[in-house]
Amino acid sequence: MTETTLSPAPSSAETPAAPAKGKSLYALDKLTQKRNASETRFKAYGITAILIGLFFLVVLAVSIISEGTPAFTRTVVEVEFAVSQEQFDDAEKQLFKTRAYENLFISGLKQQLDESGVTVPFDEAAIERLLGKPGNTIRSFFRENPDQIGQPVGFELAASSRVDGYMNGRVTRDNIVDSRFLMKSDLDIADALVEAGIIKTAFNWNFITGADSGVDNPGGAGIGASAVGSFFMMLVVLFLSLPIGVAASIYLEEFAPQNRITDMIEVNISNLAAVPSIVFGILGLAVFIQFMHLPQSAPLVGGLVLTLMTLPTIIISTRASLKAVPPSIRDAALGIGASKMQAIFHHVLPLAMPGILTGTIIGLAQALGETAPLLLIGMVGFVARGYPDGLIAGFTEPNSAMPAQIYTWAARADYAFYEKAWGGIIVLLVFLLSMNILAIILRRRFERRW
Amino acid sequence: MVRKPLPMNEMPNTVEKVTDMTETKIAARKVQVYYGDTHAIQDVDIDIQAKAVTAFIGPSGCGKSTFLRTLNRMNDTIDVCRVEGDIKIDGEDIYDPKVDPVQLRAKVGMVFQKPNPFPKSIYDNVAYGPRIHGLASKKAELDEIVASSLQKAGLWNEVKDRLDGPGTGLSGGQQQRLCIARAIAVSPEVILMDEPCSALDPIATAKVEELIDELRENYTIVIVTHSMQQAARVSQQTAFFHLGILVELGATQDIFTNPQDKRTQDYITGRFG
Amino acid sequence: MPLFWLILIVLAVATVGYVLGRSRALASAGGERRKLHSLPSYYGANVAMKAAVPAFLLMIVWLLAQPFYIDNSISGMIPDSAISEGSSRGLVMAEVRRAARGLDNAVAMGEITDDFARNARADFNDITARLKEAGQIVTSEITQPVMRAAQRFRILDATASLIMAIAVLLVAVIGALWGLRETKADFWARNTVEGGVKALLIGAASIAILTTIGIVLSLVFNTIEFFRLYPAIDFFTGLTWSPSFSGRGGSSELGIIPLLWGTFYISIVALAVAVPVGLFAAIYLSEYAGPRVRAVAKPLLEVLAGIPTIVYGLFALLTVGPLLLSVFGDEGIGIMQAGTAVMTAGLVMGIMLIPFVSSLSDDIINAVPQAMRDGSYGLGATKSETVKQVILPAALPGIVGAILLAASRAIGETMIVVLGAGAAARLSLNPFEAMTTVTAKIVSQLTGDADFASPEALVAFALGMTLFVVTLGLNIVALYIVRKYREQYD
């Protein structure tokens, strides 16, 4: 608007606003056509926006699934051969014991190749490039199971990560560079072994149950140990944030007087909900580790940090569920002489419980996927070297968490770890998905409309 | 309260009696409105006179507002609503696929129950319609439209010094007259009013009623009202709706002094509703 | 775990108190429950509460205060000469604590006897080697002053813990007795217990404030410490970011400007993606889409918001980066050197923010009353005209608030930039170059092996402080705008 006052209005008889009759409704005038065109355009923008969003979702899903599934398979070499008692005694007497077993293995392999009629020349070095050092595994097997000596035993040995890559297309004949890890000529051997049915693809249980491996062994890396770390952290988060969150919400929703302290708490909560997660990591580092000297990299500390982070989410959703319980319920309880506390704990809280649990599960899911603060308190991936021994150790011994483990893999130089990172994401998303589905079921099942 | 709908031919001659005298602006035949599975309006036949005020009366939920909203296809904006039958304005079927509801609504304006000025200045509120319909090519023309619309709505003297002020800053009665000015500004031929005074105090109501009476000269007005007194005061023709059907239509005086149908009589004597 | 046992014992005292309190109340009413003011269980709860709450409070305060007291008394034992060049008292103290913990563990594992741990001299008994053997990682040779301090530390720590255990148990028992004495038929037990519960609720609610205080204190103290080692002026105005990894201080240049620029640039790219897409998606969903489309598209879009940021980080590093590189890299247009770049991180962050913007805007658009729409349609406006000229202007404050919240999210986002934006701090206008952000540098400065007292590590707290202040400012403004907006239509 530009002008405040207008010239004195002309008399109403000659104004253009007087109804002019006669324009037919059937005839679309030019302007209306133009307006409709712009309407169509505008609508198209909206559809495009939705499609862009969905397109990204699809791309994300496709890349996760296509890149991540190879992590769940591994390439194994299956060889069956027998070791006689003399061979065993003989090998144990030698200076290089594992070398002796390796020779036994190679002769077994040769035999199996001959049987299937495939011929390919190979030497010990090639076998080591393909399989690592099989002799050790075989030796320890027979030392632990002496009763198996003399009988044919099937060994399933993990192929090296390069061979694994060759099998699932990460390594090709075009991009391979001869190195101590794998030579071009080895691929011929691998092809021959595939033909003979000796190299196979198997489900990689180790990826799900195992711990992080060193930087030079991507094949052996598993997410199991860090999943245990995540689990202990979630325990801490659940058992702290649910009671604290519910208590805080009850106070704010039912008891808090309208004053400046209450206002301050409310403003604080909504601000904390928007504070970057990394700041919570700094808080954890400074307060829990520097100041309170709690153990570094411990799931306990991670859980504390994530509790503080998820509390605002849980408080906000809990308050919404409490608010949804109609005041008539409170009045009814108070009317028969219950105290306010009794009215809330006996009537309001149970009615609000499904909503509270839904909010808590969603808060936990958020916490489960959080990475940045964990890195600051030392829960990086390479810490997850094994399962904790015992319940208390689960909370206090250094461990990692799934997202931090994924980050560590993604930050390693070896391409083979990327596949593990994607695979780790699939595992993480499966957990998140099940939590969200649980939340949806809870909501569907118990939601009550007043 | 369940009664069989009265077939039209049993309604004695009222329609003819009225239409004999003046030109018909809107003619509706066999109009049905469905909300999802609910049959909200059944078999409504009505003729609305040009340059006169027609009042729709009836108990709450009788379908009078719903029917009003079919006249400028405002029901199009509700997903579950379906309209069947024939509604013609100046002989043109407004539900014809060739008709753009946008153009239709420029011809058939609407004023709502609660005053709903846009959160803009008074000037922009009135200028909004002319702007989107391209009624003014120059600023001066637009100023003129705004000024004359406000004058016609009887609001000019109260707001001429604060056209820049927010429309929401006016009193309830002023807001409603602003909405009427907004509707007039697009030069409609018909103005639909959906209980325009229900949110206003008696003094503001009197002003709006006065305004409706003045507007009758130039516009065809259809007003839905809860108040029988209001219908009696402002309208020339009155239609009584009950349970989704049009029970009786006639000259306002006849309806209030000599209703033909028992239900109409019960309603205006206050036995139900 | 003596602490664990202590907690159990206090809980046991409380339980016994509960049972006694309950039966005593019944007895005082001569077995007639009607004569009691409250239900018997409230009398029990009153006793239990008085036993457990003060005891636990004392325990928490003690546990927080004990390290201070011990640190202070030990710190005096270490002569200035024992603090080597470039080191600080804090570092030596950390070493003392590590040594003490190492001794504890070694004793627990049976590698050394307790007596040995108390009296051994570092220079005679080769304690470092033995601790290393016991699997207690000790970074450097333990010197005699450190060893003595560590031994003293162990003694003080053990004594203090013992005194605490006694004090806590005493408080618990006294509390229980006090509660029992109160237990009479006309005692208002319910009101007392409810008062206690209410105090508990208030305590829970004030954790939000404590968290904020914790954040502020941990940032402020460390930031001040940083500014003592590195001039604040250089930090805020420096155009170069190049921390040295070798020595302590001296050669590092820690200017925040390149980091702020990277943060700002990436956030702008992200918002340029998220705001138009999110806003149009919200408009389409709330004004055009039928209920069925809405029921499908809205949750699907919100899935994008539920995906952890590490996934987006990986997506940026391994999918989007290489994709952009193949188009803009040397084989394509030739303006992109590597997959990690402002564009990569910004684009992916934009995708992450789409549902954030769209669901906030959706709420805000839906808060515009239907009467506004009716008014506009009644005048013959098309939907797009209604949206552009009535709904959006009415919803504008709310949408601005939503965008500010999204901006604050973008600024504080970490994993996407750590993996997708690169590590080089650079002042450049080319969005296809690698840059880095405040958050990414906080991670890299605090996850390395740098020790906490060096400016290279402390700078992370100054960065965190800056980040906190900026996002807090944005959040407060945004929440204020949104709240005002909602009040307008409530």
* Contact (Cβ atoms closer than 8 angstroms) between residue A105 and residue A188: no
User: How high is the ipTM of this complex?
Assistant: 0.85
Residues in chain C: 490
| Residue pointed to by tokens 């239990």 | C48
Residue C85: its pLDDT value, please?
59
Give the confidence band of A3 by pLDDT, cuts at 50, 70, 90.
Answer: very low
3-state secondary structure of A164: helix
Q: Do residues C459 and C338 share a domain?
A: yes
Q: Most A CBs within 10 Å: which of C311, C359, C390, as the mutation test of the A interface?
A: C311
The percent of residues above 90 in pLDDT, for chain A, comes to 32
Residue C345: its pLDDT value, please?
94
List, in sequence order, the alpha helices (H) in chain B.
14-21, 64-70, 101-107, 122-132, 139-152, 156-159, 172-184, 202-215, 228-234, 252-257, 262-268
Backbone angles phi, psi at B118, to 5 degrees: -70, 155
The residue segments making up the domain with residue C56 are: 2-198
- Among the residue ranges A105-109, A406-410, C458-462, the one predicted with the least confidence is A105-109
Q: Do C379 and B112 touch (CB under 8 A)?
A: no
Interchain CB contact of B189 with A (< 8 Å) = yes
Residue C204: its pLDDT value, please?
92
Q: Do residues C175 and C313 share a domain?
A: no
Say yes or no: domain A224-446 is CATH 1.10.3720.10: yes
Q: Any residues with CB less than 8 A from the CB of A273 and at least 6 apart, and which? A: A312, A313, A316
CB-CB neighbors (< 8 A) of C303 in chain A: 57
More confident residue, C136 or C25: C25
Residue B272: its pLDDT value, please?
65
Residue A449: its pLDDT value, please?
65
Q: What is the dihedral of CA B257, B261, B263, B265, to 10 degrees?
A: 20
Residue A231 C-alpha, separation from nearest chain C C-alpha, in angstroms? 17
- Measured CA to CA, the distance from residue C308 to residue C348 in angstroms comes to 13
Residue C337: its pLDDT value, please?
82
Residue A450 C-alpha, separation from nearest chain B C-alpha, in angstroms? 24
**C215 found inside a domain:** no
Q: Any residues with CB less than 8 A from the CB of C141 and at least 6 apart, and which? A: C128
Is the pLDDT score of C201 beyond 90? Answer: yes
Give the confidence band of C3 by pLDDT, cuts at 50, 70, 90.
Answer: confident
- Measured CA to CA, the distance from residue B113 to residue B118 in angstroms comes to 15
Q: Do A265 and C206 touch (CB under 8 A)?
A: yes
Residue B183: its pLDDT value, please?
92
- Measured CA to CA, the distance from residue A226 to residue A210 in angstroms comes to 9
Classify residue C211 by burial, with Cβ atoms within 10 Å: 0-12, 13-18, 19+. buried
Give the confidence band of A5 by pLDDT, cuts at 50, 70, 90.
Answer: very low
Residue A49: its pLDDT value, please?
95
Q: What is the mean pLDDT of residues A331-348?
A: 89
Which residue in A300, A248, A292 sits closest to A272, CA to CA? A248
- Among the residue ranges A191-205, C86-100, C388-402, the one predicted with the least confidence is C86-100
- Measured CA to CA, the distance from residue C79 to residue C144 in angstroms comes to 11
Q: If you measure CA to CA, which chain A residue comes closest to C414?
A: A372
Computed over every residue of chain C, the mean pLDDT equals 85
Is the pLDDT score of C30 beyond 70? Answer: yes
Is the pLDDT score of A18 beyond 60? Answer: no
Backbone angles phi, psi at B82, to 5 degrees: -130, 135
Strand partners, B224: B56, B194
Classify residue C139 by burial, with Cβ atoms within 10 Å: 0-12, 13-18, 19+. exposed
Q: Count how many pairs of residues, chain A against chain C, have C-beta atoms within 8 Å.
A: 271
3-state secondary structure of A221: coil
Residue A41 C-alpha, separation from nearest chain B C-alpha, in angstroms? 16
Backbone angles phi, psi at A77, to 5 degrees: -110, 120
CB-CB neighbors (< 8 A) of A56 in chain C: 304, 351, 354
Q: Do residues C286 and C172 share a domain?
A: no
Which residue in A204, A153, A168, A209 sits closest to A67, CA to CA? A168
The residue from C198, C216, C233 where one domain ends is C198
Interchain CB contact of A337 with C (< 8 Å) = no
Element (H, E) at A405: helix A402-411
Query: What is the domain count for chain C?
Result: 2
Backbone angles phi, psi at B26, to 5 degrees: -120, 130
CATH superfamily placement of domain B14-115+191-268: P-loop containing nucleotide triphosphate hydrolases (3.40.50.300)
- Among the residue ranges A189-203, A224-238, A327-341, the one predicted with the least confidence is A189-203
CB-CB neighbors (< 8 A) of B103 in chain A: 25, 28-29, 32
Q: Most C CBs within 10 Å: which of A50, A308, A339, A412, as the mutation test of the C interface?
A: A50
Computed over every residue of chain A, the mean pLDDT equals 84
Which residues 363-392 on chain A approach chain C with CB closer than 8 angstroms? 365, 368-372, 375-376, 378, 380, 392
Closest CB to C372 among B79, B109, B116? B116
Selection from A115-119, B48-52, C36-40 with the highest mean pLDDT: B48-52
Residue B224 C-alpha, separation from nearest chain A C-alpha, in angstroms? 22
The residue from C198, C217, C232 where one domain ends is C198
Residue B1: its pLDDT value, please?
36
| Residue pointed to by tokens 């209920």 | C291
The residue from C198, C232, C267 where one domain ends is C198
Q: Do C378 and B102 touch (CB under 8 A)?
A: no
Q: Do residues C192 and C287 share a domain?
A: no
Encoded tokens for C85: 């060049």
Give the confidence band of C88 by pLDDT, cuts at 50, 70, 90.
Answer: low
Q: Count how many pairs of residues, chain A against chain B, have C-beta atoms within 8 Å.
A: 93
> What pLDDT, in 10s, does the model give residues C445-472?
888 666 677 788 889 999 999 999 999 9
Q: What is the mean pLDDT of residues A261-265?
A: 89
Closest CB to C290 among B74, B79, B129? B79
Q: Do B143 and A6 touch (CB under 8 A)?
A: yes
Closest CB to C309 among A39, A54, A371? A371
Beta-carbon neighbour count of residue A9 at 10 Å?
19
Q: Do A54 and C285 touch (CB under 8 A)?
A: no
Element (H, E) at B35: strand B24-35
pLDDT lower than 50: segments of chain B? 1-20
Residue B268 C-alpha, separation from nearest chain C C-alpha, in angstroms? 31
Instruction: Please state whether C479 falls in left (phi above 0), alpha (psi between -120 and 50) or beta.
Output: alpha
Residue C84: its pLDDT value, please?
64
Give the confidence band of C269 by pLDDT, cuts at 50, 70, 90.
Answer: very high
Residue B46: its pLDDT value, please?
92
Encoded tokens for A409: 């893999």
Which chains does C contact via 3+ CB–CB distances below 8 A? A, B
Residue C123: its pLDDT value, please?
58
* Contact (Cβ atoms closer than 8 angstroms) between residue A77 and residue A193: yes
Residue B9: its pLDDT value, please?
45
Q: Do B89 and A25 touch (CB under 8 A)?
A: yes
* Contact (Cβ atoms closer than 8 angstroms) between residue C51 and residue C187: no
Closest CB to C382 among B102, B129, B192? B102
Per-domain boundaries in chain A: 72-203, 224-446
Selection from A445-449, B229-233, C336-340 with the highest mean pLDDT: B229-233
Residue B6: its pLDDT value, please?
44
Q: Do residues C21 and C147 share a domain?
A: yes
Which residues 212-231 on chain A approach chain C with CB closer than 8 angstroms? none
Residue A9: its pLDDT value, please?
44
- Among the residue ranges A206-220, A234-248, C99-113, the one predicted with the least confidence is C99-113
Give the confidence band of A15 by pLDDT, cuts at 50, 70, 90.
Answer: very low
Q: Do A17 and B149 touch (CB under 8 A)?
A: yes
Residue A58 C-alpha, separation from nearest chain B C-alpha, in angstroms? 30
Per-domain boundaries in chain B: 14-115+191-268
Interchain CB contact of B184 with A (< 8 Å) = yes
Q: Any residues with CB less than 8 A from the CB of A177 and at least 6 apart, and which? A: none
Q: Do C384 and A370 touch (CB under 8 A)?
A: no
Backbone angles phi, psi at A152, to 5 degrees: -70, 130
List, in sequence order, the alpha helices (H) in A202-251.
205-209, 224-250
Q: Do A6 and B163 touch (CB under 8 A)?
A: yes
CB-CB neighbors (< 8 A) of C197 in chain A: 341
Cα atoms in the Cβ-side hemisphere of radius 13 Å centred on A200: 11
Closest CB to A274 among C315, C351, C475? C475
Q: Do B186 and C379 touch (CB under 8 A)?
A: yes
Residue A115: its pLDDT value, please?
79
- Among the residue ranges A217-226, B37-46, C294-303, the one predicted with the least confidence is A217-226
Distances in Å between the Cα of C177 and the Cα atoms of C16, C43, C53 are 11, 13, 14
Q: Do residues C192 and C257 share a domain?
A: no
Residues of chain B in Cβ contact (below 8 Å) with chain C: 72, 74, 77, 79, 101-107, 109-112, 114, 116-120, 128-129, 132-133, 179, 182-183, 186, 192
Give the confidence band of C357 by pLDDT, cuts at 50, 70, 90.
Answer: very high
CATH code, domain carrying C424 = 1.10.3720.10
**DSSP letters spanning C74-100:** HHTTS-GGGS-TT--HHHHHHHHHHHH
| Residue pointed to by tokens 């927010």 | B166
Q: Do residues C53 and C187 share a domain?
A: yes
Strand partners, B250: B238
Q: What is the mean pLDDT of residues C363-379?
A: 90
DSSP annotation of A37 reads H
| Dihedral angle sign, alpha carbons of residues A200, A205, A210, A215 | positive
Q: What is the dihedral of CA A180, A181, A185, A187, to 10 degrees?
A: 180
- Among the residue ranges A334-343, A425-434, C119-128, the one predicted with the least confidence is C119-128
Encoded tokens for C158: 């053990």
Residue C124: its pLDDT value, please?
59
Residue C104: its pLDDT value, please?
76
CB-CB neighbors (< 8 A) of B149 in chain A: 17
Which residue in A156, A142, A153, A130 sits closest to A91, CA to CA? A142
| Sheet arrangement for strand B108-111 | B108-111, B190-194, B220-224, B53-57, B237-242, B245-251
Residue A201: its pLDDT value, please?
82
> What pLDDT, in 10s, does the model give residues A27-52?
888 888 889 999 999 999 999 999 99
Residue A56: its pLDDT value, please?
94
Q: Do B110 and C389 touch (CB under 8 A)?
A: no
* Contact (Cβ atoms closer than 8 angstroms) between residue B80 and residue B66: no
Residue C333: its pLDDT value, please?
80
CB-CB neighbors (< 8 A) of B198 in chain C: none
Interchain CB contact of A300 with C (< 8 Å) = no
CB-CB neighbors (< 8 A) of A2 in chain B: 139
Which residues 130-159 on chain B approach chain A with CB closer than 8 angstroms? 132-136, 139, 141, 143-152, 156
Q: Do residues C164 and C260 share a domain?
A: no
Classify residue A216 by burial, with Cβ atoms within 10 Å: 0-12, 13-18, 19+. exposed
* Contact (Cβ atoms closer than 8 angstroms) between residue A230 and residue A379: no
Encoded tokens for A142: 């027979």
* Contact (Cβ atoms closer than 8 angstroms) between residue C439 and residue A260: no
**C423 found inside a domain:** yes
- Among the residue ranges A92-96, A106-110, A208-212, C105-109, the one predicted with the least confidence is C105-109
